[in-house]
Structure 1
C-alpha cells in the first residue's frame, strides 16, 4: 500500500527519485501514465496488468468513447525501470502533460503512486487551510460513499 507525501525534484536527465518507502513495493519495473488530473500515475507492473485486463479489456470496441478511453491510458503509458539509486526516468511528453519541470510532489494513492508538479499540487489545495478538503467536505464524502 502506498501512503504519504514526499517533496522532490526532477533532474536535468528527467529522473526522479522514488521515495525509499515506495521502492520495495514498486519493484524495479513500473508503468507511468497520464492520470485524470494534471499529474502522472505510477503503477507497479502487476497493478497495471490488472487495470488493463480487468478494466480496459472489458470496454466495448464498438463504442467510440470506450475506444478513446483505452487510447488515453494505453497511448500515454510508458514502461520505466527504477535504477540502483532509486531513480526513474520520466518520458518528456508525460513530464510536459503534468507540468513537471523542477519541483514535484510524490504521493501514495493506495495501489498506485501519483507524481504532481509542485505548482499543480498546490492548486489542488484549499487556499485558507492548505488541505485537499475541509472537515465538512470530508464528512460529506464519507457519508456519500458509505464510511
Structure 2
C-alpha cells in the first residue's frame, strides 16, 4: 500500500529571522502540536535539510523493514535514521526553528534567504543561493524530460 502523504508542491523563497526561524508555507504546516523531524541530507550535491512528518518517518521505517536483508541490517538502518533526526515543531505563528548545528550544516545563517522546496514525502529547506545556482527559474531541458511531463 502506498501511503497518502501531505502533498507538497512548488518552491517558495523565505527569509530566516534573527533566531533562525523560518515561516512554513501555510498549506505545508502540520496539525497544531504535531511534531516534525529535521534531517540533514544531500540533494544535487548540496547539503540541505529535509522536513519529515511522523507519517513520512514511519514510511521510511516500513521501507527499511521491507528491504533489509537481515535483522541486523534492519536494526542498523533504523538506528542510523533515528540518529539523523531532530524533532522540532512549528509554533502558533507557523515558524519552524532550525537548530544552530543543522543550520550551519545546510549553510543557513540567521536573517538569510532560504527556499522551501517540495519533495516526494517531505519538504526541503535550502540555502537560497545554492538552490538558485542549481535550479534557477529555468524549465527542465527537453533532453531531460523523457516522460514529457515538464
Q: Same fold (TM over 0.5)?
A: yes
How high is the TM-score relative to the length of structure 1?
0.76
Aligned residues: CA RMSD = 2.6
Give distance in 2, aligned partners of 1:56 and 1:99.
33
What CA deviation, in whole Å up to 9, does each residue of 1:12-56 have, x standing for no partner? 112111011211xx3332111012322111111121122123327
Q: Does the CA contact (< 8 Å) of 1:76 and 1:94 recur in 2?
A: no
Residue 115 of structure 2 is aligned to residue 105 of structure 1? yes
How many residues align? The count is 133
> In the aligned structure 2, how far is the partner of 1:92 from the partner of 1:57?
34
Q: Render the CA deviation track for 1:75-109: whole Å, top value 9, x for unaligned.
A: 22110111110011111111111111110000111
CA distance in 1, matches of 2:67, 2:39: 19
Q: Is the 8 A contact 1:3 1:110 kept in 2?
A: no
2:61 to 31, 48, 52: 52
TM-score if structure 2 supplies the norm length?
A: 0.75
3-state SS, counterpart of residue 39 of structure 1: strand
More helix by percentage: 1
Please give the alpha-carbon distance, in whole angstroms, between the structure 2 residues aligned to 1:44 and 1:131.
Answer: 30
1:135 aligns with 2:142: yes
**Which structure 1 residue ranges, 5 or more long, are not aligned?**
none
